Amino acid sequence: MMFGLWLGFMGLAGAMALLFWMVLHFSVENKYQEQTENDLRMAAQSIWDMYGEADFETNIALLAKSNDYFVQIVSEHPIQVMVSVNNQGEKAAPQQDDIADETLFERLNDSDGICQYYVDDQVHASRWAVQAVVLANVNGSRQVLVVSRSQANVDALMKLLTSRYLLVTVTVLVLASILSIWLAEYFARPFRHLNKSAQQMAEGNYETEFIREGPVEARQLAETLELAEQEFNKTEALRRDFVANVSHDMRTPLTVIRMYAEMLEAFSGEIPEKREEHVRMILNETDRLTNLISDTLDLAKLQSGTMEMNPSVFAIEDVAEEVLSSVCANKPEFQFKLDCPESMQVCADRKLIYRVIYNFASNAVKFSGKKQEARIVIRKYQGSVRVEVIDYGIGIEKDKLPYIWNRFYQAKPNDREKCGMGVGLNIASEILRLHHAPFGADSTPNEGTCFWFMLEAYENET
Amino acid sequence: MRRRIWQALAVAVFLLVLSRTAVQRDLQASAFQEKIEQCLEAGELPVVVLSQESGEYESLGKSALWAAEYAAEQVNKNGGVNGCKVRIVSENTGSDNSKALSLYQGASRAAFAVLGPIDAPETTYIAQNVERNETVHIAAYSYAESRQLMAPYGISYMSDSEEGELEEVRVWAQQNPDIKNIVLYTMSQDESKENTTELFQNTLADLGLNILKIVDVKPEAGEQDYSYYAIQGLNEDADGYVFLIRGRECANILVKLRQHGVEEGRRISISFSAYGSELFEIAGDQLDGVSIWNKFDPFYKGTQWQQLLKAYEKNIGNTGSVVQVANPVADYYDAVQAICKCYEQFGVTSDNYGEFIGNADVAQWFYNSQMLSGIQSDFRWQEGQKITDYQFFVFEGEMPVNRNDK
């Protein structure tokens, strides 16, 4: 990553330098060249227009001096210089022989009578920009006007600019290289550390530290990974508790069953009263074990989404009554009342809704405290049927309420007898979600809890 | 839905505009037809003219219409034709092709001969779009293609310029046998000049002339362009320079050539299309020895021509220089005279005029005519093409002198 970043930064710096060079070369140099050519063209035009005037040569000298160009007029047959003026406006021999030699006429033959070209400046290691135009044709012999200007000044300027440019380019590239190494390190280091920590976490070390450093995105990634690690930690703890709970909850009834079975074998088989009591205990524990396995299976089905719904129309108060009978069967002293002023029909999976009310009611019995009393209240509410299971027990702290629907969550983890595996409310919530039914819990510590849910009321249209 | 409504509305508006234009055109045609019929009802013989009193060809068109009216006036002064007075019945096309066509169609319903337009674009448009023609149409049928399309009814009011240009160069070359290599100045945007250039490329070698370079001059050229065109000519090892271009461009380039070494004016030949005020004003003092040709002789001594010149000067407000007579003046005068001659020969009167519409004999009378008397000399039509003498001049100082008079 670091090399890639460095390469990218250097590529950018190189591209910028290239762009700058292109601007310098093509724009500045071409601009100067274009300017020179335009000047020569205009000069040639002016002289061409003056041809034939009495003071023609004097005017040429003035123009040459004021505009810094050399002027020659060359005849074709024979090739000879008729007029030659230097850039001081003085009559002088042409600055170079090849400015206007026989190749001039060859160039004109391939043109419309006007041509522009460059000749090497042998003295200044530069070039002469030349504009040639046919000035007159006298008896088939062309007279050609040649206007030229040295490019030495322009070339010197371009050389200076180029040398400065090279210096600046090297400096920029060196600075860019240093800067790019620092930037690449700045960006790459946090990701390197995060990668290393993530590898440790993948190996099972959930205490790995994710260092928050570098750019914002790297710091945010570190925070996210840390949160993920915390979640992993919690899940792992829940998993461990679940295994422990399931082990305990399954071992307890098995131990009891074994104990009563041994007692049956050893001595109570002969005593009808004892035998009946021991057989009943074995059966109760077997039911408890069956329920435990059933809960675990249901939970697995709900989680995997393979739980099938069998909706039917039924009276919700009937289901509530069945639940009460079942829950209170072993606790005749518990005052569990049903408050339902009228019969209310719903369309849902009867078996699953029974399970929900049963789980809520079981909880109410477990956590009712000393006040052995609870209520199921069923009312119509805005076209729905609202079922509330209310106890007056120990209640749940407000900060724990959001978590009671989580799998394996136990509000009182030390109270093993009451808490069980922590799946009852989770199962109830999954069933209600399956029915798209709103549900919730309101609680005040030491005053009691109200579990509620709502099902759409079924109205028989006929 | 809304889009469809807009589309339908747009189509409806388009059709409405189209139908309105069509109705307008038909109304123009009908009005022109009625105008001709009214002339006949008044016992006068109509000479129907499609004139260009506005638009691109306004200046030439006005001169041409004046010439037609002047010719009719001369005929009427001599008692008219077959006891009827002659009247020019004209309508302005505005130099607009489609209007010219609708007016022509209107005229065709009531007249058996129509004169004009003076310009090739309008004439060609009529020839290409007229549905059925049985009307003698004397107009700018200078292109053989258009003439064939309308034969035997399409008649050229003027003599062929391409042949005139070639004849001028032939005469010029004969007079200057030392001229062998030439530079040709032409204007490719003018179809007529383009055709002439092609003709020169194919035939000048037979006259012993070699075209070294063809310089294509753009219309509306500026001072620097003229220098550039002159330099192109000077760059060649040429003995002579032939101009097929208009007056202003020709004059400016010619001046620059003369200033830059072309000392002898005889080395230059100029087309009739440059014969006008701009040439004389710009290059007057540089024309000595230069050859030029024209379709008529402004200095012709004939009485009729001299009367025409005076009348033209008086009516058009000329500066007095005879050389500024517009080109179609002589041709339109001749065309009206020819139409009147036809009326006379076939016994056409205002009463029997309608019987000659679509008459094949009348069409042939024009299409392949006997010798007719023109304002300057005789002429005839052969296969619709006007056959007449061309006039060749050489400048002596600033004045062109007809070679025949020398």
- Measured distance CA(A299)–CA(A303) in Å, rounded: 6
Q: Name the band, by pLDDT with cuts 50, 70 and 90, for residue A344.
A: very high
Q: Name the band, by pLDDT with cuts 50, 70 and 90, for residue B319.
A: low
Closest residue on chain A to B214 (Cα): A112
Q: What is the reported pLDDT for A156?
A: 84
User: % helix / strand / coil in chain B, to the nearest 5?
Assistant: 55, 15, 30
- Measured distance CA(A293)–CA(A37) in Å, rounded: 99
CA distances for B108 relative to A77, A459, B40, B48, angstroms: 67, 92, 14, 10
Q: What is the reported pLDDT for A251?
A: 78
Res. A419: pLDDT tops 60: no
Q: What is the reported pLDDT for A462?
A: 45
- The highest-confidence range among A32-36, A204-208, A429-433, B37-41, by mean pLDDT, is B37-41
Q: Name the band, by pLDDT with cuts 50, 70 and 90, for residue A354.
A: very high
pLDDT average, residue stretch A351-372 = 87
Q: What is the reported pLDDT for A264?
A: 85
- Measured distance CA(A62)–CA(A64) in Å, rounded: 6
Q: What is the reported pLDDT for B156?
A: 95
Tens of pLDDT, residue by residue over B48-105, are: 999 999 998 898 899 999 999 999 999 999 999 999 999 999 999 999 999 999 999 9
CA distances for A375 relative to A107, A208, A338, A418, angstroms: 116, 49, 6, 19
Tokens linked to A313: 């129309």
Tens of pLDDT, residue by residue over A228-279, are: 888 888 777 767 766 776 777 777 778 888 888 888 888 877 788 888 888 8
Min Cα–Cα distance to chain B from A50, Å: 10
Q: What is the reported pLDDT for A21?
A: 82
Q: Which of A351-360, B70-79, B94-103, B315-324 has the lowest mean pLDDT?
A: B315-324
A140 vs B: CB within 8 A: yes
Tens of pLDDT, residue by residue over B3-33, are: 777 887 887 777 777 777 767 778 899 999 9
Average pLDDT, chain B: 91
- Whether B82 and B343 have beta carbons less than 8 Å apart is answered as yes
- Measured distance CA(B241)–CA(A109) in Å, rounded: 18
- Measured distance CA(B36)–CA(B108) in Å, rounded: 10
Closest residue on chain A to B258 (Cα): A136
Percent of chain A with pLDDT over 90: 35
Q: Which of residues 311-340 of A touch B (CB under 8 A)?
A: none
Paired sense of beta strands B291-294 and B240-243, if any: unpaired
Average pLDDT, chain A: 86
B238 to A137: CB separation less than 8 angstroms, yes or no: yes
Res. B321: pLDDT tops 60: no
Q: What is the reported pLDDT for A440?
A: 94
Res. A416: pLDDT tops 50: no
Chain B residues with beta carbon closer than 8 angstroms to that of A116: none
Which position has the higher pLDDT, B218 or A267? B218
Tens of pLDDT, residue by residue over B169-188, are: 999 999 999 999 999 999 99
- Please compute Rg for chain A using Cα positions: 51
Q: Which of A354-363, B38-47, B317-326 has the lowest mean pLDDT?
A: B317-326
- Measured distance CA(A441)–CA(A452) in Å, rounded: 6
Percent of chain A with pLDDT over 70: 95
Q: How far apart are the first and last CA of chain A?
A: 72
Closest by CA position to A116, among listed A102, A99, A138, A136:
A99
A142 to B231: CB separation less than 8 angstroms, yes or no: no
Tens of pLDDT, residue by residue over A152-164, are: 888 888 888 888 8
Q: Name the band, by pLDDT with cuts 50, 70 and 90, for residue B1.
A: low
Res. B135: pLDDT tops 90: yes
Q: Name the band, by pLDDT with cuts 50, 70 and 90, for residue A412.
A: low
Tens of pLDDT, residue by residue over A183-242, are: 888 888 888 889 999 998 888 888 888 888 888 888 999 999 988 888 888 777 767 766
Q: Which of A16-25, B375-384, B395-404 has the lowest mean pLDDT?
A: A16-25
A137 vs B: CB within 8 A: yes
- Measured distance CA(A18)–CA(B137) in Å, rounded: 72
| ipTM tops the 0.90 cut | no
Q: What is the reported pLDDT for A415?
A: 55
Q: Name the band, by pLDDT with cuts 50, 70 and 90, for residue B208.
A: very high
pTM of the model: 0.64
Q: Name the band, by pLDDT with cuts 50, 70 and 90, for residue B255.
A: very high
Res. B331: pLDDT tops 80: yes
B238 vs A: CB within 8 A: yes
B260 to A112: CB separation less than 8 angstroms, yes or no: no
Closest residue on chain B to A105 (Cα): B235
Q: How far apart are the first and last CA of chain B?
A: 83
Q: For residue B234, give the nearest of A49, A111, A142 by CB distance.
A: A142
Mutate one of B235, B259, B263 to test the A interface: name it (highest A CB count within 10 A). B235
Chain B residues with beta carbon closer than 8 angstroms to that of A109: 235
- Measured distance CA(A127)–CA(A375) in Å, rounded: 110
Please name every residue paired with A454 in a beta bridge, in sequence order, or none if there are none.
Answer: A386
pLDDT average, residue stretch B247-263 = 95
Closest residue on chain A to B267 (Cα): A139
